[in-house]
Amino acid sequence: MNITRTLAALSLGLAAASISQAAEPLRIGLVLPMSGPFSSYGQNIENGVKLYLQEHGDTFAGRKVQVILKDDTGAAPEVSRRAAQELIVRDKVDILAGFAMTPGALAVAPVATEGKVPMIVMNAGTSSLPGKSPYIVRTSAAVPQYTVPLGPWAVKNGLKKVFTVVADFGPGHDAERYFTQSFTEAGGQIAGAVRVPLKNPDFGPFLQRIKDAKPDALFLFLPTGEQPVAFFKGFNERDLGKAGIKVIATGDLTAEDSIDAMGDHVLGVVTAHQYSEAHDSPENKAFTQAYYKAYPNQRPNFMAVAGYDGMHLINAALEKTKGDASAAKFMSAVRGMSFVSARGPITIDPETRDINQTIYIRKVERVAGKLQNVEFDDSLKDYKNPIKE
């Protein structure tokens, strides 16, 4: 009888401990640039995160969600690393998320590995990033996904001599490398190449070099925000468009939060990317309507979608693990996970932990008075990062 009572008491104790553990808050450490030149990145991703919680509630698998936001100021790897360390050691977060810029994500990767904490990358696009830690999963895109397809597309459409201009940091180097490779393999010729500083570049000398080279087109990769606005202002002032030079670019160049500032200068620009505000699907219609309601003076872009999808992924993983956010169980749960996003169907590749998704070829057009990235080719479905590091 005593043994029976002891076992019953032990069983009740374990059950109580299990309930207590399940009731523990789920702490998510969000590392984003909320100040500095890339603060719009942080704002857009945070908007997506907050919108998901507004729509789906702040409890995942019985655990109250607590989001702890740290400002890493932009491309400042030491600040990002320190923020992640504080979140793990002091704030005891279960999951790290955010990471708008590659330098910060690379700096935090070993911190996540050492702390055995899942790390959800919501923007940084350097191809090799998921390989830097077994705990990284990406909900944005790898740069080669939207640069490699533009090479053969350009040649097929008569743009056989191209000048490349990219920002001088990891994703820019990726963009230059992989576009050049796919373009030349398709029969194209590179007329020239420049890398511009990440901060406060003077585009004047670069624009003159482009004009002198007389290419059919310019391939452009710049961080969304102020730089593309300044670039297209100079492009127009120097009459490069009138000289017959087309622009093909990665889709972040014409992101919805900055496209209006560029104005009609970007009409006709062809880009490749994973999300457009104008994407025609029930899921995107619901997302954009909710976004307009939550943020009346803002337009949703690809970063907001990646933040929203990142929270969806965390919620779905916790449902599978019954609330267990330990790295091994969480990473097992996200491998191969699929769902329909505002951008279309997405899957976390079970081998690479990178994202597979449709990449769209789009053209900037004015639709109902608004500049939009209008998709005209969606043949690249379930498209993996084409580069194996």
Average pLDDT on 224-250 reads: 91
Listed in sequence order, the residues at least 6 apart from 340 whose beta carbon sits closer than 8 Å to its beta carbon are: 281, 283, 346
Q: How confident is the model at residue 199 (pLDDT cuts 50, 70, 90)?
A: confident
Intrachain domains 10-141+281-353 and 145-273+359-383 with the same fold = yes
Q: Which two tokens stand for residue 265?
A: 């200068």
**Model confidence at 70: pLDDT above 60:** yes
At residue 20, the pLDDT reads 41
Q: Which fold has domain 145-273+359-383?
A: Rossmann fold (3.40.50)
At residue 23, the pLDDT reads 66
Q: Return the bridge partners of 375, or none.
A: 362
Q: Other C-beta atoms within 10 Å of 11: how many?
A: 10
**Model confidence at 4: pLDDT above 90:** no
| Helix H or strand E segment including 342 | none
Average pLDDT on 121-144 reads: 96
**Model confidence at 95: pLDDT above 60:** yes
Select the more confidently predicted residue: 228 or 218.
218
Select the more confidently predicted residue: 14 or 90.
90
**Model confidence at 10: pLDDT above 80:** no
**Model confidence at 188: pLDDT above 50:** yes
At residue 201, the pLDDT reads 85
Distances (CA, A) of 328 to 113, 207, 210, 342: 12, 50, 50, 29
Q: How confident is the model at residue 113 (pLDDT cuts 50, 70, 90)?
A: very high
Considering the entire predicted model, what is its pTM?
Answer: 0.91
Q: How confident is the model at residue 227 (pLDDT cuts 50, 70, 90)?
A: confident
Task: For residue range 36-47, list pLDDT tens digits in order.
Answer: 989 999 999 999
Rounded Cα gap, residues 26 and 18, in angstroms? 15
Q: What CATH class is the domain 10-141+281-353? A: alpha beta
**Model confidence at 75: pLDDT above 90:** no
Percent of the chain residues topping a pLDDT of 90: 87
Q: Which residues of 144-153 are buried (b: 16+ CB within 10 A; e: fewer)?
A: bbbbbbbbeb
At residue 328, the pLDDT reads 97
Rounded Cα gap, residues 290 and 313, in angstroms? 19
Task: For residue range 148-187, list pLDDT tens digits in order.
Answer: 999 999 999 999 999 999 999 888 999 999 999 999 999 9
At residue 389, the pLDDT reads 62
Q: How confident is the model at residue 335 (pLDDT cuts 50, 70, 90)?
A: very high
Task: For residue range 258-306, list pLDDT tens digits in order.
Answer: 999 999 999 999 999 999 999 999 999 999 999 999 999 999 999 999 9
Q: Are 98 and 47 in contact (CB under 8 A)?
A: no
- The whole-chain average pLDDT of the chain stands at 93
Q: Where are the domains of the chain?
A: 10-141+281-353, 145-273+359-383
